[in-house]
Amino acid sequence: MASEPSPCQSLKLVAKSAGQVVASFDLPADGEVVLGSSSKVACSVGTERYLSRRHVVLRPVPPRLHVERLPTATNPVVFKGVAMERFRMSPGDYFVIGSTTFHFEGPPIPAGPVMDFAPHEQFTLAADELRIARDASDRLRLLDLMQLSEVLRTRSRKDFYLYACGSLRIATGARWVQVLALDEDEPRVLCEDVGVDQLTPKPQSRSLVRAALAEAPQPVTYTWRQATQVNMNATAYEGVDWAVCCAMPIPGEKPVLFYLAGSEGGRPGRPMATGHLSLRDTARLVGLVADTIGRAVAVQKLEDWQAKLGHFFSGKLVSKILESEDPAHLEPRVREATIMFFDIRGFSRLTEGNLQRAVEHQSELKRAMTAMTGCIFDHDGVVIRYMGDGILACWNVPYDLPRHAEQACLAALDMVELLAEVTSGWTCGIGIGVGEVVAGSLGSEQVYAYDVLGAVVNQASRVEGITKEVGVPILVTGEVAGQLSPDRILTRRVGRFLPVGVRTPVDLYTIDAVPADPDALAAIQKRRAVHAAALAAFEQGNWDKAFDLLHPIVKEDDAARYIYTHALRRKPPEDWNGVILMTSK
């Protein structure tokens, strides 16, 4: 017989509100204590207004805790999403009263004593035996299995495993069913369902567990002769003469195992058919459940991964990543990419020194960022990160994208137009550059994200800052402008700039969508021809000529107005070389 576990002296109830610990209580190994708001009870929490003076009684029965709502309580006790009058908690569980969660802490349920005696018989169910339907009850059980994936969607993983344990125990007549995880190759009980509520640890055969791992995902069955039970030091129950174990491979995780144990005689009121065939049916059902759960968990993980990818990539790119057989696309590598920096103008000043004002504008900011992200995704861009009221995005990663600079510019034009529609007149600045970057999953062992590194990232950030000085919403580098189709996007050189922190001057251009109206297009081209002539004079040092050329169009042209304000002095500085030096970011 297995020895009884020693009484647990480290049971605790920890009260948390808004993620902060507000109270902590050591629980006795036996007896009972009361939880409430009164200072006279053993577990007093005065910070929760929905807690009655005497709300629940706690009865520790190591390693578990029994909880019962008292008749004096006026508010419900919610456990696992359901208001309950009484329930039993395992270490790691919690219940909720009002806005406070009460967490039960204690050592995990022990895995049970070693049970490595030789079985009388062992068999492993072949894969083609799992789905042999024999009778109507089998078909009904298969229909039950079809519900497992839906249960997984609505419950936590632990609750889901517990649900599966209960279903298997009832269907097979097992004395207990456990779900085991591996800690340093030793089994640990995640949850269990037993026919009789006893606290003695339930045994597992380590050799059966090892055999199940070796044969995964096929279930392995051990049987023992009743006569050899006198040599079993593994159980505190009347008899265990069979056990089935099946390992479920889960992508990216260690396997999880189902372990069932029982006797061929079953329990009173729960008869179980005897004979070799019934154990094969039991093993087959366990294998089907494990296979169904393994597939459901794998699908859930895939959906979670797809949802996470959806925060960075458009739906089209997510599908391409998931369909790809080559995972190297997300590994860091050198690529040419188009980089965009987007920033909402004036938002920082609007909320500067007033955090409450920042909170008040969060809904509008979220609406704006959602719309901007949609424009980026519509043109196959990737959102690298959000920076408060800004976005870093890129194109041509992780897959090749034809005319990626043009796609980025089309997205920028859409963003400028849409921002005015979804906000109360907010404006933005957008800087776009193209060049080589390192793109891929970057970060640390603990935290990583898809990111880009390279000089062009810094350049695009500086270009976005210059939009504020020039007074235009979008500026792109000459490398970007050279890749744009004149049939879709009009470009105009604004000037040659030396941004802060950059050694090489860069030519910057404004962009506009080509208007459908021929007369409007002709007017734009005429004005731009004037601006080009004035810019040439300005850079050559003939500021008088630049001033005279720009004067007729300055009221209707922001880019012209910027050069015009410089030319107002009529004479360039002595060291003038045609490059505008920026003094701030």
Residue 68 burial (CB < 10 Å; 0-12/13-18/19+)? middle
Ranges in the chain annotated CATH 3.30.70.1230: 336-514
The pair of three-digit structure tokens given for residue 192, joined into one six-digit string: 């269990």
d(CA 417, CA 412): 9
Per residue, the 3-state secondary structure of 275-322, as one string, reads CHHHHHHHHHHHHHHHHHHHHHHHHHHHHHHHHHHCCCECHHHHHHHH
Q: Which fold has domain 12-105?
A: Tumour Suppressor Smad4 (2.60.200)
Taking only the tens place, the pLDDT of each residue in 373-425 is: 999 989 999 888 888 889 999 999 888 899 999 999 999 999 999 998 888 78
Q: For tokens 């059966």, what's the residue?
A: 208
Ranges in the chain annotated CATH 2.60.200.20: 12-105
Q: So what's the pLDDT on residue 574?
A: 86
Q: So what's the pLDDT on residue 311?
A: 62
Q: What is the CATH number of domain 336-514?
A: 3.30.70.1230
d(CA 428, CA 446): 35
Q: How many other CB atoms are found less than 10 A from the CB of residue 556? A: 10
Residues 6+ apart with CB under 8 A from 395: 337, 338, 340, 379, 380, 381, 382, 401, 404, 405, 407, 408
End-to-end CA distance of the chain: 76
Taking only the tens place, the pLDDT of each residue in 210-260 is: 899 888 888 999 887 654 444 444 333 456 788 999 998 877 678 889 999
Q: Residues 175, 194: contact at Cβ < 8 Å?
A: yes
Buried b (16+ CB within 10 A) or exposed e, 505-518: bbbbbbbbeeeeee
Q: Which DSSP category does 409 fall into?
A: H
Q: So what's the pLDDT on residue 137?
A: 47
d(CA 445, CA 396): 26
Under-70 pLDDT residues of the chain: 1-9, 81, 107-123, 125-155, 195-201, 225-239, 252, 264-277, 302-303, 305-330, 346-361, 442-448
Q: For tokens 């008869």, what's the residue?
A: 271
d(CA 314, CA 381): 7
Q: So what's the pLDDT on residue 404?
A: 96
Q: Kindly list the strands in the beta sheet with 220-223, ordered across the sheet, starting from the edge strand earlier in the chain.
A: 121-124, 220-223, 242-248, 256-262, 176-183, 186-194
Q: So what's the pLDDT on residue 276?
A: 36
Question: Is CATH 3.30.450.40 the classification given to domain 121-302?
Answer: yes
The pair of three-digit structure tokens given for residue 338, joined into one six-digit string: 């188009």
Q: So what's the pLDDT on residue 432?
A: 98
Ranges in the chain annotated CATH 3.30.450.40: 121-302
Q: So what's the pLDDT on residue 294?
A: 77
d(CA 529, CA 288): 75
H or E element, residue 456: helix 455-470
